[in-house]
Structure 1
Amino acid sequence: MAARTKARKRALELLFESEQRGVNVGTLLEERLAAPTTQHPLPEYAVQLVRGVLEHWSQINETLTTYSQGWSLERMAAVDRAALRLGVWEVVWNDEVPDSVAISEAVALTEALSTDDSPRFVNGLLARVSEVKSTLV
């Protein structure tokens, strides 16, 4: 598994865990950086992803709500929400990653961790965000 792929998975796990436990993801991130729970510290790119999502949290949620066509954030599976938040940040705010790669990686995460319908939903929503991203920045 490529380093950035692993980092995306770790970032998704942090976003998911914070939501499930009802704790602030920024607080959880800082706790994990201070005292890792595994023998491998968080990859730098995972930290960058989570911090990027945090920095643009409201805009990301507004974007997902606007373009998800009938799906509220609350109705989406928690894993899908986490993958979508990471994907939106990479598509809109990370110029180092091509949109197609960000979308493919988010789809792969949902293929591995979510429902059978999730990959198609995530792909379609992130493709739409990619199309309109110049209006979002």
Structure 2
Amino acid sequence: MSARGKARRRAFEILFEAEQRSLPTAEILTLRRRNTEATYGEYTEQIIDGVISRQTEIDEYLTTYSQGWSLERMPSVDRVVLRVGAWELLFNDDVPDNVAVAEAVAMAKELSTDDSPSFVNGLLGRLQQLKPTLLA
């Protein structure tokens, strides 16, 4: 797995744990640093900070374009994967759009249900198509 792939996975884990435990993400990051040997690089923190700072906007896009799926109805894993993927796609110019989508699909394939990769691909693909108008 690439360095960025590991960073995405770590960011996902922290964001997912924070959501599951209903704790601030910063608190989860602090607890992990205190209780493990794991290190969190700059890109992991960039993803976490980006998702948190843009979460309202990201969630609005996900809700609007998910066609019949509210955020609450989505599996938690898919919701967090989509947030990470949407942040990379829409707000991180260092990651090519196709890579952002492909990496999110790969994470869904690894971590979620059999139907999740196609759902993630479809929703992020739609956001990719609409990106110029969404960010105009």
Do the structures match in fold with TM over 0.5? Answer: yes
1:105-134 C-alpha deviation (Å, 9 max, x unpaired): 101111111000000000000000011112
Which of residues 80, 104, 129 is equivalent to 2:78? Answer: 80
Confirm or deny that 1:121 pairs with 2:131.
no
The runs of 5 or more residues in structure 2 that have no matched partner are none
How do residues 93-132 of structure 1 correspond to structure 2 at under 5 angstroms? 93-132=91-130
1:75-131 C-alpha deviation (Å, 9 max, x unpaired): 111110111000110010001100110111101111111000000000000000011
How many aligned residue pairs are there? 135
SS at match of 2:102: helix
| Aligned residue in 2 for 1:15 | 15
After TM superposition, give the deviation of residue 28 of structure 1 in Å: 2.5
**AA of the residue aligned to 1:95:** D
The runs of 5 or more residues in structure 1 that have no matched partner are none
SS at match of 2:8: helix
4+ aligned runs moved over 3 Å, structure 1 = none
- Aligned-residue RMSD, C-alpha: 1.3
- Quote the Cα distance in structure 2 between the aligned partners of 1:120 and 1:26: 31
| 133 and 32 in structure 1: CA distance in 2 versus 1, 3 angstrom threshold | farther
After TM superposition, give the deviation of residue 44 of structure 1 in Å: 1.4
| Aligned residue in 1 for 2:62 | 64
